[in-house]
Amino acid sequence: MLEGKNNWKAWLYLAPALILLGIFSFYPIINSFIIAFIRDYHPVSEVFRQNVENNQALGLSFFTFKNFITVFKNANFEYAIKNTLLIALVSVPISVILALVISVLLISIKKLRGFFQTLFFLPYVTSAMAVAMAFTVLFANNGTASAGISQGPINSVIDSIGLKNGLTNMLDWMNYQESGKESWQAYICVDSSGEIDEDKLSDKYQTYVNLQTLLDLPIEYGDMYAYQTYLADQTDVYNSYRYHFRELGYIDWVGAQATWGSAILVVLTYSIWASLAFKILVFTGGLTSIDKQYYDAAKIDGTSKWRTFWRITVPMMSPLIVYILITSLIGAFKVYTSIVGLFGSGMGPAGSAGLMQTFVGLVYQYLNEGNELIHVGAAAAVILFTIILIITALTNALTKKRVHY
Amino acid sequence: MEITLVGLCKYFVAKDKTVTKAVDNMNLTVPSGKLIALLGPSGCGKSTTLYMIAGLHTPTHGQIFFGDDDVTQVPPEKRGIGLVFQNYALYPHLSVRQNISFPLENERMPKDEINKTVLEMAKLVDIEPYLDRKPNELSGGQQQRVAIARALAKRPKVLLLDEPLSNLDARLRLQTREEIRRIQRETGITTIFVTHDQEEAMSISDEIVVMRQGVIQEIDKPQNVYDNPINLFVAMFLGTPQINVFSGTLHKNKVYIGGNFREKEVVDENNVKSIEYNYEGGNEFYLTDIAIPEGKKAPDKPEKIFVAIRPEGFNAEKLAGNENSEIKQSKEEATKGIIKAKVDLVETIGRDTTLIIEDPTAPKKFFKAIVSADKKIEAGDIVELSVKPHKMYVFNKEGDLI
Ligand SMILES: Nc1ncnc2c1ncn2[C@@H]1O[C@H](COP(=O)(O)OP(=O)(O)OP(=O)(O)O)[C@@H](O)[C@H]1O
Ligand SMILES: [Mg+2]
């Protein structure tokens, strides 16, 4: 009935939505693609338009790739790419798997199911900023351990389950991977007055220094006592590089001394946790719609829980899983708010702004610099669009064979 | 494998604490190698019984024995059963082959042995050409057979079928039920078949268990259940067209349909008062003498009863006359159990004709009689009916056989 002569009615009903979408979505999208290729575009003074009007003969002279080059040359471009990709490609798969497991467990319990469902759904209805602020409190590092100041909950837990050293080493490794700088480390044992105290050669009083970068010393990793002696003799060296010493025991996750490794771990944790809620909501809905008879049949055939999950639950949920995977990937590529929430608009720990830069952050950065760089922002957005397009297409292609509609 | 149910009960307690007795005090022995049908209307607890035998439901009371073993607390996978679900529950994302091999893979059977078994099963249920299709690429009947193959693949000791034919069309249903019968005979596997279709139950099973609201009504061979229904419910549940039920009166071993009795006080010569009951008939009739079984006393007082007559329990003869002729029934005829009535409608299906006849004792009420099509009876004819005695059953007000 909507076909044929009544067609105009359908268009009429769609008109409000179409007009709004046109003004606020389609036009800006097309426009940003155009702007991205325009030299020195200035939206207010309309330099570009004047140029065109005055230089008809110049033809395509306003067309340029320069904007893209500018983006690539941004000091934090590498961070933006690295962080965005890492967040998308690590946190999304983990959170999908985690959400699926939690949903299956949720469905299988009878008592308190509603309670837990609500609990898991709470992050969804909480402001991202509020969650991020809560995270900064959780991950707080309130100074040195020797001073006996109480730590943030995460650090306290890490301390009490004895993960301090392991985590610190892992972060060192991550930072090494990230910066590519050889991080020769030596552990020395110094008490607060700068004296070596062998009795206190325990976790709590260990400090470490990246000797290569600080002291430029040709020392082998693990040659501990040599440095101890060396440093003990040179209290002034220790003091002058005091800033670079940090307590092994407590990690500064989001504070001024946070490193790339610690910061990205917090961001990943945040992304996974905050995105669980919606996924669990969708998955539990999908799970309850699977006919119970399949599980009865599997039970009678003596199928193990593990096999039931992989051979029945996952294939039956596969359309939903792929849907969630793709929408979450796209969402993750647009990561921005959470970084601002965790680190402020500097997009990084206080000491090193831009360390947690993301792609959308980059776009905003150009937009925030007044009208001068709007075209560069547009170019950054086009790059992001292309990356998302490629990743989505890849995901689609990879999952196609495994999805059972 | 003989299956024995002893005092089996399943009560469901709803949120508002109301109790549903889905199965109540069920005692049943399924002989080894036999096919028995659980028959009853929707909601009478057939599936619940089946699921308890399968181990998917835990009984509220009672025990289940497989042979001499009490399996009441044994988990489903250890019971050695195959279950075919009402809507098959074939895994939609797996091919027919994968569906059939699924239970075998659970047992960690070697690959080549799995392949062998799958082929064997496919041959048994005749689905070899479809092994690499997905379930949604099969017809209902084919899916049905795949489900049976999957259930049989791990060589269960007991096969449980939950209304396996309810999703099929009439022809396929007929075909598949013969197939099930054949497979059951070939494998000799003890089978319980749940259905609400009495014809299906009658045609397929060695024994029928008729259930009603969680309680077994009658257990017997199909023909025996049909011929000797223990109560009105069983009589009405078995047979198509349904048995005709008239309300009537029983007095002094005679059954009356229509009319009523008048009480009269009489005083005999010894001045003893007694009550006499006089039948006041008109167009009414009484049918026949019935033998009251030994040990039961025929009531002195006329007793309200139900008379049930199978449609094939009538002899019908066409009488001269037309639509407008008055039906005249003499008292003499009535006492011989002869009914004259007008045929309202006729349905001829091949060799039989179903007559829909207006009940002469109750206008606008109709009953059905099946007679040979050769009689050439047409709508509007007046017919003279007599009743075959063994096709008539008399039940008391509670519906129990007298
Ligand atoms: N899980 C349950 N909780 C509560 N009541 C139930 C449950 N399962 C079944 N019942 C009730 O138990 C009774 C028997 O159900 P059952 O499924 O055994 O019927 P059935 O004979 O198989 O019927 P059908 O022919 O419609 O499949 C019904 O009244 C039903 O409402
Ligand atoms: Mg049922």
- Within A181-304, residue ranges assigned H as helices are 211-215, 224-233, 235-240, 260-288, 292-300
pLDDT, tens digit (0-9, with 9 covering 90-100), for B191-239: 999 999 998 999 999 999 999 999 999 999 999 999 999 999 999 999 8
Closest partner residue to A404 (CB to CB) among B87, B93, B154 is B93
Closest by CA position to B148, among listed B106, B116, B179, B110: B179
Long-range CB contact pairs, A54-62, < 8 A, 24+? A62/A38
Highest mean pLDDT (candidates A138-142, B93-97, B239-243, B256-260): B93-97
Q: Does B93 touch chain A (CB under 8 A)?
A: yes
Nearest-atom number in ligand 1 for the CA of B48 is: 18
**Cβ contacts of residue B206 below 8 Å, gap of 6+?**
B31, B34, B35, B36, B221
Which site among B91, B109, B133, B155 would you substitute to test the A interface, given the most A Cβ atoms closer than 10 Å to its Cβ?
Answer: B91
Q: Where are the domains of chain B?
A: 3-237, 245-306, 308-392
Report yes or no: B363 at the A interface, CB cutoff 8 Å.
no
Cα dihedral B251, B256, B258, B262 in deg (nearest 10): -30
**B22 within ligand 1 shell (Cβ under 6 A):** yes
Kindly report, residue by residue over B311-325, the tens digit of the pLDDT.
998 888 888 766 666
d(C-alpha A115, C-alpha A136), whole Å: 27
B358, exposed or middle or buried, with CB in 10 Å at 0-12, 13-18, 19+? Answer: middle
> Residue B361 — very low, low, confident or very high, per pLDDT cuts 50/70/90?
confident
Asked if A299's CB is within 8 angstroms of B102's CB, the reply is: no
pLDDT, greater one: B332 or A98: A98
CA atoms within a 13 Å half-sphere pointing along the CA-CB vector of B226: 18
Query: B81 touching A, CB under 8 A?
Result: yes
| Inter-chain touch A299–B56, beta carbons under 8 Å | yes
Domain boundaries of chain A, sorted by first residue? 25-64, 75-139+258-402, 155-248
Interface test with A, best of B102, B105, B155, B159 (most A CBs within 10 A): B102
How far apart (Å, rounded) are the C-alpha atoms in residues B152 and A28? 63
Q: How many contacts, defined by CB atoms under 8 Å, are there between A and B?
A: 58
Largest pairwise CA distance in chain A? 95
Q: What is the DSSP string of B279-292?
A: EE-SS-EEEEE-PP
**Residue for token pair 């069983």:** B234
pLDDT in tens, B122-180: 988 888 899 999 999 998 888 988 998 999 888 899 999 998 888 777 887 888 888 88
Q: Which comes out higher in pLDDT, residue B44 or A372?
A: B44
Which of chain A's residues have a Cβ under 8 Å away from the Cβ of B106?
A: 301-304, 307
How far apart, in whole angstroms, are the C-alpha atoms of residue B329 and residue B338? 9
Contact B106 A301 (CB under 8 A): yes
Residues of A in contact with B78 (CB under 8 A): 302
pLDDT at A401 (0 to 100): 75
Structure ipTM over 0.90, yes or no: no
Q: Based on the number of CB atoms within 10 Å of its own CB, is A386 exposed (0-12), middle (13-18) or buried (19 or more)?
A: exposed
Chain A contact residues (CB < 8 Å to B): 291, 293-294, 296-304, 307, 311-312, 315-316, 318, 404
Q: Indicate the top mutation candidate among B44, B162, B193, B215 to test ligand 1's pocket, ranked by most ligand atoms within 8 A of CB.
A: B44
Q: Please list every residue in chain A whose beta carbon sits closer than 8 Å to the beta carbon of residue B76.
A: 299-300, 302
Contacts of B249 (CB under 8 A, 6+ apart): B255, B256, B257, B259, B260, B261, B302, B303, B304, B305
Tokens of A235: 């209290």
The CATH code of domain B3-237 reads 3.40.50.300
* Chain B neighbors of A312, CB-CB under 8 A: 91
Q: How far, in Å, is the centroid of ligand 1 from the Cα of A294?
A: 18
Query: Following CA atoms A114, A116, A117, A119 in sequence, which dihedral angle do they give, to the nearest 10 degrees?
Result: 120
In sequence order, which residues have a C-beta less than 8 Å from that of residue B244 and are 6 or more positions away? B308, B309, B310, B311, B367, B368, B369
Test mutation, A299, A300, A309, A320, chain B, max B CBs within 10 A: A300
Cis peptide before B92 (omega within 30 of 0): no
| Of residues A380, A377, A356, A397, the one with CA closest to residue A86 | A356
**Minimal Cβ distance to A293: which of B81, B85, B94:** B85
| Cα distance between residue B49 and residue B40, in whole Å | 12
Sign, Cα dihedral of A41, A43, A47, A52: positive
Please give the residue of chain B at the shortest CA–CA distance from A405.
Answer: B93
Point out the residue among B85, B87, B103 whose CB comes nearest to the CB of A301.
B103
Ligand 1 pocket check for B42: Cβ under 6 Å: yes
pLDDT in tens for each of the 405 residues of chain A?
Answer: 445 666 888 889 999 999 999 999 999 999 888 888 887 776 666 556 555 556 554 445 677 888 899 889 888 898 899 999 999 999 999 999 999 999 999 998 888 888 988 888 888 888 888 888 888 888 887 654 444 556 788 888 887 887 776 777 777 777 777 776 544 343 444 444 444 444 444 333 344 444 444 444 443 333 333 344 444 455 554 443 433 344 455 777 887 777 888 889 999 999 999 899 999 999 999 999 999 889 999 999 889 999 999 999 999 999 999 999 999 999 999 999 889 988 888 888 887 788 889 999 999 888 887 777 888 889 999 999 999 999 999 988 888 877 776
Hey, of A289, A293, A299, A301, which one would you mutate to test binding to chain B, going by the most B CBs within 10 A of its CB? A301
When pLDDT is cut at 50, 70 and 90, the band that residue B109 belongs to is confident
Ligand 1 atom 10, closest CA: B22
C-alpha B347, offset from chain centre: 23
Cross-chain Cβ contact A297/B89 below 8 Å: yes
Q: By the 8 A CB rule, do B345 and B381 touch?
A: no
Taking contacts as CB-CB distances below 8 angstroms, the residues of chain A near B87 are 291, 293
CB A225 within 8 A of CB A234: no
Q: Tokens 């008592």, residue?
A: A111
Q: Please give the helix or strand (H or E) that residue A114 lies within, else none.
A: helix A113-121
Q: Which of A294, A304, A318 is nearest residue B91 as measured by Cβ atoms?
A: A294
For residue A203, the Cα-to-chain-centroid distance in whole angstroms is 30
For residue A296, the chain B residue with the least C-alpha distance is B56
B166 to chain A, closest Cα gap in Å: 16
Does residue B242 line the site of ligand 1, with CB under 6 A? no
Q: Determine if ligand 1 sits within 6 Å of the CB of residue B47.
A: yes
Residues of A in contact with B83 (CB under 8 A): 296-297, 300
Ligand 1 atom at shortest distance from the alpha carbon of B86: 27
| Whether the CB of B43 sits within 6 Å of ligand 1 | yes
Q: How far is B135 from chain A (nearest CA, A)?
A: 12
Residues B87, A312: C-beta atoms closer than 8 Å: no
Q: Is B195 in the pocket of ligand 1 (CB under 6 A)?
A: no
> pTM score > 0.80 for this model?
no
What separation in Å is there between the alpha carbon of A104 and the centre of ligand 2? 27
Q: Is the pLDDT of residue B328 over 90?
A: no
Q: Please name which ligand lies nearest the alpha carbon of B57.
A: 1
In B54-163, at which residue ranges do the beta strands (DSSP E only) sit?
61-66, 69-70, 81-84, 158-162
Which chain B residues are within 8 Å of A291, Cβ to Cβ? 87, 89
DSSP letter for each residue of A145-197: TTTTPPPPHHHHHHHHTT-HHHHHHHHHHHHHHHH-----EEEEE--TTS---
pLDDT at A214: 46
Ligand 2 centroid–CA B43 distance in Å is: 7
- A348: distance to nearest CA of chain B, Å? 47
Are B206 and B34 spatial neighbours (Cβ–Cβ below 8 Å)?
A: yes
Mean pLDDT of chain B, nearest integer: 86
Distance of alpha carbon A278 from its chain centroid, rounded?
A: 17
Quick one: which H or E segment has residue A90? none
Q: What is the pLDDT of residue A239?
A: 43
Do A300 and B92 count as a contact with CB atoms less than 8 A apart? no
Q: How close is the Cα of A103 to the center of ligand 1, in Å? A: 28
All residues at 6 or more sequence positions from B124 whose CB lies less than 8 Å from its CB, including other chains? B149, B152, B183, B186, B187
Residue of chain A whose alpha carbon sits nearest to that of B75:
A300
Tell me B402's DSSP state.
-
Residue B210, chain A, CB below 8 Å: the answer is no
Nearest ligand, CA of residue B9? 1
Hey, is the C-beta of B337 within 8 angstroms of any chain A C-beta? no
Q: What is the pLDDT of residue A257?
A: 72
Structure tokens at B39: 């028959």
The H or E element that residue B368 is part of is strand B366-372
Give domain B308-392's CATH architecture: Beta Barrel (2.40)
Q: Find which of B56, B74, B137 to mutate to test the A interface (most A CBs within 10 Å of its CB).
A: B56
- Residues facing residue B162 across a β-bridge: B194
What value does the CA radius of gyration of chain A take, rounded to a whole number of Å?
Answer: 27
Cβ-based neighbour number of residue B324 at 10 Å: 6
Place of tokens 């079928």: B161
| CATH class (in words) of the domain with range A75-139+258-402 | mainly alpha
